[in-house]
Structure 1
Amino acid sequence: MVTSGLSIKLFDFQEKAVIKLIDLTSKKDSKQTIIMKAPTGSGKTIILIDYVDTYLTNVSANTAFIWLCPGKGNLEEQSREKMMKFAPGRATQNLFDALLNGFTPGSTTFINWELVTKRGNTAIRDSERKNLFDRIADAHRAGVEFIVIIDEEHSNNTAKAKTIIDAFASKNIVRVSATAIENKRYEFFEIDEVDVIDAGLITKALYVNEGMADNTEITDDYDYLLDLADAKRKAIAGRYKEIGKTIRPLVLIQFPNGQPETIAAVEQKLESMGYTYDNGMVSKWMSEDKKDLPDNLTENDAIPVFLLMKQAISTGWDCPRAKILVKLREGMSESFEIQTIGRIRRMPEAKHYEDDLLDFCYVYTFDEKYKAGLLSNMDKAYETRRLFLKEKCKTFTLEKEIRDLDVGSLGERNVLNKIYDALVRKYNLSTSTTDNKLHFMAAGYQFGDEIIGHALYGEYVRTDMVAESTTYYTTRKLVNTHKHGIELLHSVDAIKSTIGMQSAKVKTILERLFRRGGSSYKKLLLLDTSEFYAFIINNEHRLKEEFREVTAGINTQMTLPLNPKKSIFHIPEQDFYKYDPGVKNEVEYLTNAYHDYTSGYATSLVRSTSEMLFEQFCESRDDIEWVYKNGDTGQQYFSIVYRDGLQNQWLFYADYIIMKKDGTVWIIETKGGETKGKDKNIDIQIENKFNAFKNYAAEHSLHWGFVRDKDNQLYINNTEFAHDMSDDHWVPLSQEF
């Protein structure tokens, strides 16, 4: 360790982080924004306090620091209290102090985001908000420089937040996050998680699903996971006792949404194990329901050993005795947020005991998808910028189509027939349900009366390794129609999303096709109730794909008249476009309908290859008056109605509207082309859209076409659709356009 200017010793890695921040905020050629990726438990508050103290002492005393804190909690007060404790000589204040006294040199103002950004929040009224901007202006006039520290918060990357940050016109912005990703627009450095482990501040590693075995038969998720967690908790508690430590390990039980019935089931399970709210062993921390939360919950000797919580407890909550995380599911598709692991990685005494049981933390979950965290626009490689329409484009109008929701799609029986026919064709099925089962099995469908799942397992040193892991155990649950009804509905909903029908109707179709009983009409399998549940849940993704393929079919018998509603489209006077700040040799695209539109809006980062090539092509022509890039979804954009194979209506947003200098209007849709003989198009509805587009263009006497790229050349088709680009209907763009 090395000594800092604070009343606390810093670890080497913390000291290096301070030096790096000083270096980046004092160099003239550094970028304005600096991102420090700091793992949970690395002591980022101490690092930032020492950085502020060192900067004011050694770089510039004429600086006011703004420290923006996240969350609904009182993290700004906690951070301020830490600064008062470890750097007592430094002036600190909150937002209301600043409104009264202004921003003075050498001060650090701690502000909760929600006070200044949340809609309807009366903590800072309009008059005070104005006063805030006045105070900032006063400081600027007095020659005070600002540095803004943004303490880990993604959800506040809003226009309001940006307005506040921009008002400070700060010399530097220091963003600190446990989940940041490197971005060329900003200075970036990372504190290595291994350095934090070596310092003894966080656990040596984490185990996921320790004690679970492959092919385990599970009766109930809650029972199984809570039994594993409690056995581990007791073992850890016993070991602490053996080495003379008064530390009571805490189990965090995390619910995705906190459905009342799920919470009640867990509370009953805990009660059967001897843990209740009444005996003080259980606490609940949910936004609308806090129960038996003692003031000393985070202290090492606090009584509760189970804490029920929703998604993730507010940022900045520290409870070093929390050693075990149980993440429950309320459906099949929830994903695990990796940053939650930070809540159980801290060591209770900021040191290792050289005992794996105590130096590790433990996660128990049946989640199959793992997400590395919520990324804000700041972390994405592109920016979003607002552009304004050129005067000459403001009078342009075009008739656009909107779905007529009074016109229905195919009835349940017709949909059943289409799906039945498609499956019979694809798998060569017959009236023999026994033979059909063999055909489905040969195609990879799963059968049986067990729900098959996959549970991640393993030991991980770095937290983010969890998201990259591929080691899974198979889990088996015997179908219980009472318990697994919700999972069945989740699967039906997922299948429903591809065909735009009500869940009840989709469930009826699935039962008609695959379940024993009822009419034998269009029956492919004879599954009993348990087998049917397992079949739908286990094969959800395959069935979803089968239904999607049917919707992509071309409906030749247009039995239902398509008379979409019409309205007038105007190009939006202002709009937001993705911009690549790393663009090379940026040039203005003079043909674009918007002012200041450049090649930075048309790089491979923000555009497909065919879009990028098409915009370059238009810019190279001298017969183009303007080019408008249409939006992908939304009422303000140009749309055409098309029908899928089940006669559902959908909206199709063509990519470009082009006005030529001779007054002719072109509408162009770009699609993925071919590379090395492989089709890059991923739109399963391409042919339905093509035909609807063709009809629309004929009706309105417009020029149109689908444009695709092959070997960096563009080709257009506006005659008869063909998937294969070697077909004669695809001709060089310059020949037609």
Structure 2
Amino acid sequence: MVTGLTLNLFDFQEKAVMQLLDLTTDSRCKQTIVVKSPTGSGKTIILIGFVDEYLNKVNSNTAIVWLCPGKGDLEEQSRQKMMKVAPHRTTQNLFDALRNGFPSESTTFINWELVTKKGNTAIKDSERKNLYDRIAEAHRSGMDFIVIIDEEHSNNTAKAKDIIDHFSAKNIIRVSATAVENKRYEFYEIDELDVIDEGLITKALYVNEGIEDNVEITDDYEYLLDLADAKRKAIAARYQEVLPEGKVIRPLALIQFPNGQPETIRAVERKLESMGYTYDNGMVSIWMSEDKRDLPENLTENDAQPVFLLMKQAISTGWDCPRAKILVKLREGMSEQFEIQTIGRIRRMPEAKHYDDDLLDFCSVYTFDEKYKAGLLATMDKAYETRRLFLKPKCKTFTLEKEYRDLDFDGLGEREVLNRIYDALVEKYHLTSDKQRNRMILAGNGYVIGDEILGQALHGVFVRTDMVAEATSYYGTRKRVDTHKHGMQLLHSTDAIKTAIGLSTGKVKTILERLFRKGGNPKKKLLALNTAEFYAFVINNEHLLRDEFRKITSGMSQQLGLTLEPKKGVFHIPEQDFFKYDPGVKEEIEYLSNAYQEYTSGYATSLVRSISEQLFEQYCESRDDIEWVYKNGDTGQQYFSIVYLDALRHQWLFYADYIVMKKDGTVWVIETKGGESKGKDKNIDPQIENKFNAFKSYAAKHGLHWGFVRDKDNRLYINNTEFAIDMADDHWKPISLVF
């Protein structure tokens, strides 16, 4: 260790403090500094070190504001740590700041939820104004602010931005284990290898150690918990061998549930009971937001009694337990993502040193999750910003009739939907009444047929935590269908399929059973699967079936004498709205034709708009007969919508892209779509024809001008007559001839 600073820091920590001091004192540097700090690197100590040095050596007439996520009382933990390692520093919480303001050299720890959570009564409106008053008071006294945003990814909202903006901070320091470099900000990364070298975190992590390829699994939970317990016992035995007499480290296994559904928790509790671990004997604790049963005060201490902790996905930031060595991540559905960030909970070393023993110097993850993502990245890590704009007064009186779904209109009944799907599948795959032959045909077209649910499990050893998200080494897994255990999975898959056709889950399940399951009416039956095969068929082929059904709905909506009268409403252009903005825009110019004040070319670059949208906005800006152009939203009741029907006569809402008022008072409604490039169709909307026809009908009814606009060779073409997907068709005309 080195002692160049007030605190004793590791080399990499001191280097980080020095870098922060350099960036906050160099006038050429950007206001915001993003620090990527791996879990276990002592992020809080680094920030305390920076605060201490900055107030000592740079500017004592500064107030530090330290914002923390609401989960896990992180702001109080951080404050306690500062009081312990830098007792000479003044610390306070939000309520102290409301009483006392922001004195120089103070650090105010604020829980995000107290100032941003909807309906939170911790600060009423009058008191929130009081917070803003206190900030203004500090500014009037000449106080500088530095804002530290800890784990900011979990609170990136307009309200949070408003609070940060009020501080008008000299610098904003954002810290996260999952930060991504962005050219708008200064960026500093602490190398995870430096943290490993100092012995603070494990040398590497095993994922699914002990799982074999093509293994048959009877029960997910039992299989993973048996592996985890064997590993836990081995680690505990090794600690007994290497630790001096009287010292105890009791390794902890974390069992993480995505949502904590009662039946899943109960199944795990029963399994643990059968292994001899219960709440009653102190070996198990549970930490859910609504249940902190038998959570001992010393849970995070190395010699604490519990060896299994049941927890929800949410406990992923601000909770340190260095004795936690194993993470079992369970699934409650099929498509959950594994948050790589949670691995940080098991990477710390219990004595902040390595033992030169892989069993003790590694940590272990057991999971059947198949999707991994690197973390809850904030919009600050995206390449665009979100900015609020205000409507020009001349647009405030404009109205247009918009449509909503008529909830009393059912569309096609279950039988008609079944017939459509049956006919489409027979036509596509040339299926017959011979179920065995159909079985071979579907298998030959990529369908998985059998009585086992197939999956895959990531495996390997990883030094850097974020390498897990990029890993591609998977073992296959097989599970024999158990209708009791896999009922939830079947329901989950049916739910996913129903999104394509808009019927209830129950109706979709009935249709699937009529088509593929043995028994019942033999008409319209393509396969005769037994119960286990049916479960496996739907679960294994969920994506195929969903895409299949989606294509069927994109066919032309047939008029069957059943007329839909959508609900009506009045559309006003929102007086304020949020737009994606590209801060890297070159030669920014204001688009005077836009309905919103201060709308510029920065809101219409390739980062935030499609090619056809960019070209259309540029085209409107170049015309002198345009009064204003409004860019409609994609979804939401405040935007302009019309109803269209798919091939199953199910209702969907369509949000046309632009409303244009010309100077002669004519109103145009425009939808932009992907055009053609190098002879290939770029349109990705399977419902384009249904939308076109609904749009045409709506425009005729309301006397509006309209058109679908697409791009080809950097030029725009419009069609408002008869639908044609091929842009070589005569119905597509250069936009200048029509609009």
TM over 0.5: yes
**Matching residue of 2:47:** 48
CA distance in 1, matches of 2:111, 2:664: 57
- For 1:725-736, what aligned pairs fall within 5 Å after superposition? 725-736=727-738
- For 1:522-533, what aligned pairs fall within 5 Å after superposition? 522-533=524-535
Shift of 1:676: 2.1
**Matching residue of 1:224:** 223
Moved more, 161-170 or 518-527: 161-170
1:580-624 alpha-carbon deviations (Å, 9 max, x no partner): 111111101011111111101101111111101110111111221
**2:361 paired with 1:362:** no
Residue type of the partner of 2:116? T
**2:285 paired with 1:290:** no
Aligned with 1:580 (options 560, 579, 582): 582
CA distance in 1, matches of 2:46, 2:629: 51
**Matching residue of 1:6:** 6
**Matching residue of 2:15:** 16
**Matching residue of 2:553:** 551
- For 1:678-717, what aligned pairs fall within 5 Å after superposition? 678-717=680-719
Moved more, 163-172 or 441-450: 163-172
**Matching residue of 1:99:** 98
CA distance in 1, matches of 2:121, 2:721: 60
1:211-245 alpha-carbon deviations (Å, 9 max, x no partner): 00011000001110000001111111111111125
- For 1:20-169, what aligned pairs fall within 5 Å after superposition? 20-169=19-168
Shift of 1:629: 0.8
**Matching residue of 2:668:** 666
Moved more, 616-625 or 399-408: 399-408
CA distance in 1, matches of 2:150, 2:679: 49
- For 1:476-625, what aligned pairs fall within 5 Å after superposition? 476-625=478-627
Please say if residues 336 and 371 of structure 2, whose CA atoms lie closer than 8 Å, have aligned partners that are also in contact: yes
Please say if residues 37 and 190 of structure 1, whose CA atoms lie closer than 8 Å, have aligned partners that are also in contact: yes
1:70-89 alpha-carbon deviations (Å, 9 max, x no partner): 22433222222222222222
CA distance in 1, matches of 2:682, 2:3: 58
Please say if residues 569 and 636 of structure 1, whose CA atoms lie closer than 8 Å, have aligned partners that are also in contact: yes
Aligned with 2:450 (options 428, 448, 451): 448
Aligned with 2:271 (options 269, 272, 278): 269
Residue type of the partner of 1:184? K
Please say if residues 654 and 691 of structure 2, whose CA atoms lie closer than 8 Å, have aligned partners that are also in contact: yes
Shift of 1:570: 2.2
Residue type of the partner of 2:21? I
CA distance in 1, matches of 2:587, 2:193: 40
**2:465 paired with 1:466:** no
CA distance in 2, matches of 1:134, 1:719: 59
**Matching residue of 1:181:** 180
Shift of 1:127: 4.5
CA distance in 2, matches of 1:543, 1:314: 35
1:237-270 alpha-carbon deviations (Å, 9 max, x no partner): 1111111252111000001111111111111111
Please say if residues 6 and 53 of structure 2, whose CA atoms lie closer than 8 Å, have aligned partners that are also in contact: no
100 and 701 in structure 1: CA distance in 2 versus 1, 3 angstrom threshold: closer
Please say if residues 251 and 322 of structure 1, whose CA atoms lie closer than 8 Å, have aligned partners that are also in contact: yes
Shift of 1:92: 2.0
4+ runs deviating over 6 angstroms: none
Q: Secondary structure at the match of 2:612?
A: helix
**Matching residue of 1:409:** 411
Please say if residues 404 and 653 of structure 2, whose CA atoms lie closer than 8 Å, have aligned partners that are also in contact: yes
129 and 570 in structure 1: CA distance in 2 versus 1, 3 angstrom threshold: closer
CA distance in 2, matches of 1:509, 1:119: 42
Moved more, 166-175 or 551-560: 551-560
Q: Secondary structure at the match of 2:389?
A: strand
Please say if residues 254 and 312 of structure 1, whose CA atoms lie closer than 8 Å, have aligned partners that are also in contact: no
CA distance in 1, matches of 2:470, 2:573: 44
Shift of 1:126: 4.1
Q: Secondary structure at the match of 1:290?
A: coil
Please say if residues 455 and 474 of structure 1, whose CA atoms lie closer than 8 Å, have aligned partners that are also in contact: yes
499 and 136 in structure 1: CA distance in 2 versus 1, 3 angstrom threshold: same
Please say if residues 35 and 189 of structure 1, whose CA atoms lie closer than 8 Å, have aligned partners that are also in contact: yes
CA distance in 2, matches of 1:616, 1:386: 21
CA distance in 2, matches of 1:111, 1:628: 39
Residue type of the partner of 1:373? G
Q: Secondary structure at the match of 1:74?
A: helix
CA distance in 2, matches of 1:590, 1:101: 47
- For 1:367-386, what aligned pairs fall within 5 Å after superposition? 367-386=369-388
**2:722 paired with 1:720:** yes
Q: Secondary structure at the match of 1:616?
A: helix
Shift of 1:194: 1.2
Please say if residues 71 and 315 of structure 1, whose CA atoms lie closer than 8 Å, have aligned partners that are also in contact: no
CA distance in 2, matches of 1:722, 1:542: 27
Residue type of the partner of 1:165? I
Moved more, 419-428 or 156-165: 156-165
**Matching residue of 1:211:** 210
1:563-592 alpha-carbon deviations (Å, 9 max, x no partner): 222233222222221111111111010111
1:474-493 alpha-carbon deviations (Å, 9 max, x no partner): 11000111111111111111
Residue type of the partner of 2:532? S
1:288-307 alpha-carbon deviations (Å, 9 max, x no partner): 11111111111111111100
1:635-664 alpha-carbon deviations (Å, 9 max, x no partner): 222112111000011111111111222222
Unaligned runs of 5+ in 1: none
76 and 569 in structure 1: CA distance in 2 versus 1, 3 angstrom threshold: closer
**Matching residue of 1:432:** 434
Q: Secondary structure at the match of 1:657?
A: strand
**Matching residue of 2:394:** 392
Q: Secondary structure at the match of 2:154?
A: coil
Q: Secondary structure at the match of 1:566?
A: strand
Shift of 1:314: 5.3
Q: Secondary structure at the match of 1:364?
A: strand
Please say if residues 316 and 342 of structure 2, whose CA atoms lie closer than 8 Å, have aligned partners that are also in contact: no
Q: Secondary structure at the match of 2:383?
A: coil
Residue type of the partner of 1:6? T
Please say if residues 73 and 314 of structure 1, whose CA atoms lie closer than 8 Å, have aligned partners that are also in contact: no
CA distance in 1, matches of 2:651, 2:724: 23
CA distance in 2, matches of 1:153, 1:467: 21
1:522-541 alpha-carbon deviations (Å, 9 max, x no partner): 11111111111111110011
Moved more, 106-115 or 547-556: 106-115
1:116-171 alpha-carbon deviations (Å, 9 max, x no partner): 33334343344443333333223222211111111113232233323332222211
Moved more, 116-125 or 615-624: 116-125
Please say if residues 664 and 703 of structure 1, whose CA atoms lie closer than 8 Å, have aligned partners that are also in contact: yes
Please say if residues 325 and 363 of structure 2, whose CA atoms lie closer than 8 Å, have aligned partners that are also in contact: yes
Q: Secondary structure at the match of 1:707?
A: strand
Unaligned runs of 5+ in 2: none
**Matching residue of 1:655:** 657
Moved more, 388-397 or 273-282: 388-397
Q: Secondary structure at the match of 1:289?
A: coil
671 and 126 in structure 1: CA distance in 2 versus 1, 3 angstrom threshold: closer
Residue type of the partner of 1:175? R
Q: Secondary structure at the match of 1:10?
A: coil
CA distance in 2, matches of 1:626, 1:141: 41
TM-score, scaled to structure 2: 0.97
Shift of 1:451: 0.5
125 and 716 in structure 1: CA distance in 2 versus 1, 3 angstrom threshold: closer
643 and 127 in structure 1: CA distance in 2 versus 1, 3 angstrom threshold: closer
1:292-329 alpha-carbon deviations (Å, 9 max, x no partner): 11111111111111000011325211100100000011
Q: Secondary structure at the match of 1:182?
A: coil
CA distance in 2, matches of 1:388, 1:113: 27
CA distance in 2, matches of 1:497, 1:129: 42
314 and 515 in structure 1: CA distance in 2 versus 1, 3 angstrom threshold: closer
